[in-house]
Amino acid sequence: MSGMGDGYVGTAQDAVRIRRLEKQREAERRKIQELKAKTASAKGQPGLLQFGSSTSEILETAFKKETVGLVTREEYVEKRVNIRNKIEEEEKEKLQKLQQEEEELQLQKRRKRKIRGNSRLSFSDDFENGSDEDDDNKPRKIGCGKLGKDPTVETSFLPDSEREAEEQAERERLKKQWLREQEQIRNEPLEITYSYWDGAGHRRVIQARKGDTIGEFLRTVQQQLAPEFREIRTTSVENLLYVKEDLIIPHQHSFYELIVNKARGKSGPLFHFDVHEDVRTIADATIEKDESHAGKVVERHWYEKNKHIFPASRWEIYDPTKKWERYTIHGD
DSSP character at residue 133? G
The per-residue pLDDT for range 45-101, each reduced to its tens digit, is 444 444 444 555 666 666 666 655 566 666 767 777 777 778 778 888 888 888 888
Q: How high is the pLDDT of residue 171?
A: 92
CB contact at 8 A, 50 and 34: no
Pairing of strands 189-197, 295-299: parallel
DSSP character at residue 142? -
The low-confidence residues of the chain, meaning pLDDT below 70, are 1-10, 39-74, 76, 116-148, 156, 275-291, 325-332
**CA 136 to each of CA 60, 140, 196, 299: distance values in angstroms, whole numbers, following the listed order:** 44, 9, 104, 104
Q: How high is the pLDDT of residue 146?
A: 55
pTM: 0.45
Beta bridge partners of 214: none
Structural domains in the chain plus CATH codes: 189-273+292-317 (3.10.20.90)
Q: How high is the pLDDT of residue 67?
A: 59
Q: Which segments of 11-54 does DSSP mark as H helices, in order?
A: 12-41
221 Cβ contact list (under 8 Å, min separation 6): 194, 196, 204, 206, 240, 297
Task: Give the Cα separation of 35 and 58 in Å (integer).
Answer: 14
DSSP E strands, the chain: 189-197, 201-209, 240-244, 247-249, 295-299, 316-317
